[in-house]
Amino acid sequence: MKQQPLISIITPSYNQGEFIRETIDSILNQSYQNIEHWVIDGGSTDNTVEILKSYDDPRYNWISEKDKGQSDAINKGIARCNGDLFVWLNSDDVFLPGALEAIADAWQPDNPAVLYGRAKKIDEIGNDLGYCVRQSGTITLETILSARAWPVQPSAFIPLDVLKELGGVDITFRYMMDFNLWVQLAERISFLFVPQDVVLYRFHTESKSVAEFAGFILDADRIYKTIAQKGLMSELDAQSRADLFAARRMLTPSLMKFDEALKRLTRAMRAQPGNAPEALFILSKGVARNMLGESLWNRVIEAKINRTMKA
């Protein structure tokens, strides 16, 4: 009989009382039972702690104390975990039924890999916003470096021993710690796609992804400089890639910083003329998304995901 992996789940939290009960329930109500769950709360001042106290389950633990941000909270959790696989599920995201069972079934103890499934977006009240972008059934170091595809963070389950060897996540990154981690992991182990809708990623105006978009761009700029220093890319290509990443984010409808995006795309093409077709594609896609509207755009993305990420 195949060994069942212990799945360690960390939920970093701060003042997410509106959503955290749904998050915890989505973990503890999974059909797969061999889990440990830690909520690492940063000293919330809303009703979060009251909610955390309301659970009585031997698989569930929590602490609430001041920390240095999300990355620090994640590392505090990693230090407390003993599992075979590790994932962090933010305190406003939700695992879908059957998610952990699908991941556990795909686990191969003699072949350490990042196991990842599909991720969908929801809004504040749980409305389906379609599949997250840049997902793929094939993820490699090259697709990550080029920013063509990487796992949606809460859909990715990492061998815990490999993560501990890396020292956890880099606490100097507030926004792009997951992208930095994907690069580090892809240098060491493979990424294996599990054909399952795994997680609902909550997208709302108060989330960091929207409210603090500039921080993501600054983190990406710094990561690409490190990538160049490690010799994984030339300095010019790394600069171009950083600019392409920034332009993609600036052209999302929730931001639409068109003039700034155009400047970054122009600089990307000057640094690496070979990236001109991709820069023009990013521009045309950003314009098309805004013209089509999110409802139609999400249908386009869903069709692509269904075509490229089937079993």
Indicate the residue among 169, 202, 235 that finishes a domain.
202
SS3 94: strand
Report how far residue 184's alpha carbon sits from residue 227's, in angstroms, rounded to the nearest whole number: 10
27 and 163 belong to one structural domain: yes
183 and 231 belong to one structural domain: no
**Number of domains the chain is built from:** 2
Indicate the residue among 202, 230, 259 that finishes a domain.
202
User: If you ran DSSP here, which 8-state letter would residue 29 be given?
Assistant: T
Report how far residue 12's alpha carbon sits from residue 64's, in angstroms, rounded to the nearest whole number: 10
Residue with tokens 């939700």: 94
Per-residue pLDDT, 283: 92
In a domain, 121, yes or no: yes
Q: How confident is the prediction along the chain (311 residues), in pLDDT tens digits per residue? A: 668 999 999 999 999 999 999 999 999 999 999 999 999 999 999 999 999 999 999 999 999 999 988 999 999 999 999 999 999 999 999 999 999 999 999 999 999 999 999 999 998 888 888 898 889 999 999 999 988 899 999 999 999 999 999 999 999 998 899 999 999 999 999 999 999 999 999 986 655 555 566 888 999 999 999 999 999 999 999 999 999 999 998 888 776 788 999 999 999 999 999 999 999 999 998 888 888 887 887 888 888 888 888 75
47 and 118 belong to one structural domain: yes
Q: What is the pTM of this model?
A: 0.91
Q: Is the dihedral of CA 79, 20, 57, 66 positive or negative?
A: positive
Domain extent at residue 19: 7-202
**What are the residue ranges of helices labelled H in the chain?**
20-28, 48-53, 70-80, 99-106, 141-145, 160-165, 177-186, 208-211, 213-229, 235-250, 258-271, 276-292, 294-308
